[in-house]
Copies of this chain bind each other. A is one copy, B any other.
Amino acid sequence: MTKESTTIDVGEPSTVTKSSSHVVVDGKKKKGFVAAAAGGGAKRGLAIFDFLLRLGAIAVTIGAASVMYTAEETLPFFTQFLQFQAGYDDLPAFQYFVIAVAIVASYLVLSLPFSIIAIIRPLAVAPRLILLIFDTLVVTLNTSAAAAAASIVYLAHNGNQSTNWLPICQQFGDFCQNVSTAVVAASIAILFFIVLIIISAVALKRH
Protein backbone atom coordinates (compact mmCIF):
# COMPACT_ATOMS: atom_id res chain seq x y z
CA MET A 1 0.00 0.00 0.00
CA THR A 2 2.70 2.45 0.99
CA LYS A 3 4.70 1.47 -2.06
CA GLU A 4 1.76 2.32 -4.28
CA SER A 5 1.16 5.69 -2.69
CA THR A 6 4.81 6.75 -2.81
CA THR A 7 4.75 6.55 -6.60
CA ILE A 8 2.17 9.31 -6.69
CA ASP A 9 3.69 12.78 -6.74
CA VAL A 10 1.21 14.69 -4.62
CA GLY A 11 2.85 18.11 -4.85
CA GLU A 12 1.40 20.76 -2.54
CA PRO A 13 -1.29 18.99 -0.52
CA SER A 14 -3.55 22.01 -0.17
CA THR A 15 -3.69 22.81 -3.87
CA VAL A 16 -4.09 19.30 -5.24
CA THR A 17 -7.63 18.23 -6.06
CA LYS A 18 -9.09 15.26 -7.84
CA SER A 19 -8.94 17.01 -11.22
CA SER A 20 -5.44 18.46 -10.87
CA SER A 21 -3.63 15.40 -9.44
CA HIS A 22 -0.23 15.03 -11.05
CA VAL A 23 0.64 11.37 -11.37
CA VAL A 24 4.08 9.98 -12.14
CA VAL A 25 3.51 6.86 -14.21
CA ASP A 26 6.40 4.55 -14.98
CA GLY A 27 4.97 3.12 -18.23
CA LYS A 28 3.33 -0.06 -17.05
CA LYS A 29 0.21 -0.49 -14.91
CA LYS A 30 -0.76 2.97 -16.08
CA LYS A 31 -4.49 2.34 -15.80
CA GLY A 32 -4.18 1.05 -12.24
CA PHE A 33 -2.22 4.06 -11.12
CA VAL A 34 -4.63 6.51 -12.72
CA ALA A 35 -7.51 4.78 -10.94
CA ALA A 36 -5.58 4.94 -7.67
CA ALA A 37 -4.93 8.65 -8.22
CA ALA A 38 -8.62 9.31 -8.87
CA GLY A 39 -9.54 7.38 -5.70
CA GLY A 40 -6.78 9.26 -3.90
CA GLY A 41 -8.26 12.58 -5.01
CA ALA A 42 -11.70 11.71 -3.65
CA LYS A 43 -10.11 10.43 -0.47
CA ARG A 44 -8.03 13.59 -0.14
CA GLY A 45 -11.25 15.59 -0.32
CA LEU A 46 -12.65 13.44 2.49
CA ALA A 47 -9.43 13.90 4.47
CA ILE A 48 -9.60 17.70 4.16
CA PHE A 49 -13.24 17.62 5.29
CA ASP A 50 -12.14 15.38 8.19
CA PHE A 51 -9.49 17.95 9.19
CA LEU A 52 -11.98 20.85 9.09
CA LEU A 53 -14.52 18.86 11.13
CA ARG A 54 -11.84 18.18 13.74
CA LEU A 55 -11.09 21.90 14.01
CA GLY A 56 -14.82 22.54 14.49
CA ALA A 57 -15.08 19.78 17.08
CA ILE A 58 -12.08 21.21 18.98
CA ALA A 59 -13.78 24.61 19.16
CA VAL A 60 -17.07 23.06 20.30
CA THR A 61 -15.56 20.81 22.96
CA ILE A 62 -13.24 23.50 24.37
CA GLY A 63 -16.26 25.80 24.47
CA ALA A 64 -18.39 23.17 26.24
CA ALA A 65 -15.73 22.35 28.84
CA SER A 66 -14.94 26.00 29.60
CA VAL A 67 -18.58 27.09 29.82
CA MET A 68 -19.24 24.24 32.26
CA TYR A 69 -16.04 24.98 34.20
CA THR A 70 -16.85 28.66 34.61
CA ALA A 71 -20.59 28.13 35.30
CA GLU A 72 -21.09 29.58 38.75
CA GLU A 73 -23.72 31.66 40.42
CA THR A 74 -23.77 33.32 43.81
CA LEU A 75 -27.11 34.48 45.05
CA PRO A 76 -27.36 37.87 46.76
CA PHE A 77 -29.64 36.39 49.42
CA PHE A 78 -30.18 33.24 51.47
CA THR A 79 -32.58 30.64 50.15
CA GLN A 80 -34.29 27.67 51.72
CA PHE A 81 -31.00 25.78 51.23
CA LEU A 82 -28.02 26.32 53.47
CA GLN A 83 -25.73 27.18 50.57
CA PHE A 84 -26.26 30.07 48.26
CA GLN A 85 -23.61 29.43 45.65
CA ALA A 86 -23.73 26.94 42.79
CA GLY A 87 -20.73 25.75 40.80
CA TYR A 88 -19.91 22.86 38.50
CA ASP A 89 -18.03 21.14 41.35
CA ASP A 90 -21.20 20.83 43.42
CA LEU A 91 -22.40 17.98 41.22
CA PRO A 92 -20.24 14.97 40.36
CA ALA A 93 -21.88 14.64 36.92
CA PHE A 94 -20.71 18.15 36.02
CA GLN A 95 -17.20 17.45 37.30
CA TYR A 96 -17.13 14.32 35.15
CA PHE A 97 -18.36 16.41 32.23
CA VAL A 98 -15.52 18.93 32.54
CA ILE A 99 -12.86 16.22 32.83
CA ALA A 100 -14.26 14.01 30.05
CA VAL A 101 -14.85 16.83 27.57
CA ALA A 102 -11.38 18.24 28.28
CA ILE A 103 -9.94 14.80 27.49
CA VAL A 104 -11.99 14.72 24.27
CA ALA A 105 -10.69 18.16 23.24
CA SER A 106 -7.10 17.09 24.00
CA TYR A 107 -7.55 13.93 21.94
CA LEU A 108 -8.89 15.98 19.03
CA VAL A 109 -5.81 18.22 19.10
CA LEU A 110 -3.55 15.15 19.18
CA SER A 111 -5.50 13.60 16.29
CA LEU A 112 -4.80 16.54 13.96
CA PRO A 113 -1.36 15.22 12.82
CA PHE A 114 -2.98 11.92 11.80
CA SER A 115 -5.63 13.84 9.88
CA ILE A 116 -2.85 15.80 8.12
CA ILE A 117 -1.10 12.53 7.23
CA ALA A 118 -4.39 11.33 5.73
CA ILE A 119 -4.47 14.49 3.57
CA ILE A 120 -0.88 14.05 2.37
CA ARG A 121 -1.21 10.29 1.90
CA PRO A 122 -4.91 9.74 1.04
CA LEU A 123 -4.41 6.06 0.23
CA ALA A 124 -2.60 5.16 3.46
CA VAL A 125 -4.69 2.82 5.61
CA ALA A 126 -2.95 3.07 9.00
CA PRO A 127 -3.80 6.71 9.96
CA ARG A 128 -7.42 6.15 8.91
CA LEU A 129 -7.75 3.01 10.99
CA ILE A 130 -6.11 4.66 14.02
CA LEU A 131 -8.43 7.67 13.73
CA LEU A 132 -11.54 5.50 13.35
CA ILE A 133 -10.73 3.31 16.37
CA PHE A 134 -9.85 6.21 18.68
CA ASP A 135 -12.76 8.34 17.43
CA THR A 136 -15.05 5.45 18.38
CA LEU A 137 -13.57 5.23 21.88
CA VAL A 138 -13.70 8.99 22.40
CA VAL A 139 -17.25 9.42 21.10
CA THR A 140 -18.48 7.11 23.87
CA LEU A 141 -16.60 9.24 26.43
CA ASN A 142 -18.11 12.41 24.97
CA THR A 143 -21.61 10.91 24.84
CA SER A 144 -21.43 9.61 28.40
CA ALA A 145 -20.35 13.04 29.67
CA ALA A 146 -23.13 14.83 27.77
CA ALA A 147 -25.82 12.33 28.82
CA ALA A 148 -24.80 12.23 32.49
CA ALA A 149 -24.82 16.03 32.67
CA ALA A 150 -28.06 16.27 30.66
CA SER A 151 -29.71 13.90 33.12
CA ILE A 152 -28.78 16.19 36.04
CA VAL A 153 -29.69 19.36 34.12
CA TYR A 154 -33.15 17.90 33.48
CA LEU A 155 -33.48 17.18 37.18
CA ALA A 156 -32.28 20.68 38.08
CA HIS A 157 -34.90 22.19 35.77
CA ASN A 158 -37.86 19.96 36.61
CA GLY A 159 -37.03 18.23 39.87
CA ASN A 160 -38.66 14.90 40.65
CA GLN A 161 -41.75 14.52 42.78
CA SER A 162 -41.42 10.78 43.40
CA THR A 163 -37.99 11.13 44.98
CA ASN A 164 -38.67 14.56 46.48
CA TRP A 165 -35.77 16.15 44.60
CA LEU A 166 -36.70 19.80 44.17
CA PRO A 167 -35.70 21.80 41.08
CA ILE A 168 -32.86 24.26 41.73
CA CYS A 169 -33.12 26.29 38.52
CA GLN A 170 -35.64 28.69 40.07
CA GLN A 171 -32.87 29.83 42.39
CA PHE A 172 -29.88 29.37 40.09
CA GLY A 173 -31.24 30.40 36.71
CA ASP A 174 -27.98 31.66 35.18
CA PHE A 175 -26.07 28.63 36.39
CA CYS A 176 -28.64 26.30 34.83
CA GLN A 177 -28.54 28.19 31.56
CA ASN A 178 -24.74 27.98 31.31
CA VAL A 179 -24.77 24.29 32.19
CA SER A 180 -27.47 23.61 29.59
CA THR A 181 -25.41 25.45 26.96
CA ALA A 182 -22.42 23.25 27.76
CA VAL A 183 -24.54 20.10 27.39
CA VAL A 184 -25.89 21.27 24.03
CA ALA A 185 -22.35 22.02 22.82
CA ALA A 186 -21.18 18.54 23.87
CA SER A 187 -24.15 17.02 22.03
CA ILE A 188 -23.15 18.89 18.87
CA ALA A 189 -19.66 17.44 19.29
CA ILE A 190 -21.25 13.95 19.19
CA LEU A 191 -22.65 14.75 15.73
CA PHE A 192 -19.18 15.88 14.60
CA PHE A 193 -17.75 12.56 15.77
CA ILE A 194 -20.42 10.50 14.00
CA VAL A 195 -19.61 12.29 10.72
CA LEU A 196 -15.86 11.81 11.36
CA ILE A 197 -16.34 8.06 11.88
CA ILE A 198 -18.44 7.73 8.72
CA ILE A 199 -15.77 9.65 6.76
CA SER A 200 -13.07 7.29 8.02
CA ALA A 201 -15.21 4.25 7.17
CA VAL A 202 -15.87 5.48 3.62
CA ALA A 203 -12.18 6.35 3.14
CA LEU A 204 -11.15 2.90 4.41
CA LYS A 205 -13.33 0.91 2.05
CA ARG A 206 -11.82 -0.55 -1.07
CA HIS A 207 -12.92 0.74 -4.47
Residues of chain A whose beta carbon lies under 8 Å from any beta carbon of chain B:
1, 81, 83, 86, 90-93, 125, 128-129, 132-133, 136-137, 139-140, 143-152, 154-156, 158, 160, 162-166, 168, 190, 194, 197-198, 200-202, 204-207
Contact = CB atoms under 8 A, between A and B. Distances in A.
A206 B137 CA distance: 22
Contacts of A148: 147-148, 150-151
14 contacts: A1-B207, A90-B160, A91-B160, A92-B158, A129-B202, A133-B198, A133-B201, A144-B147, A145-B147, A148-B148, A148-B150, A164-B166, A165-B165, A197-B197
A207 B156 CA distance: 52
Q: Is the interface of A mostly helix, strand, loop or mixed?
A: helix
A201 B137 CA distance: 13
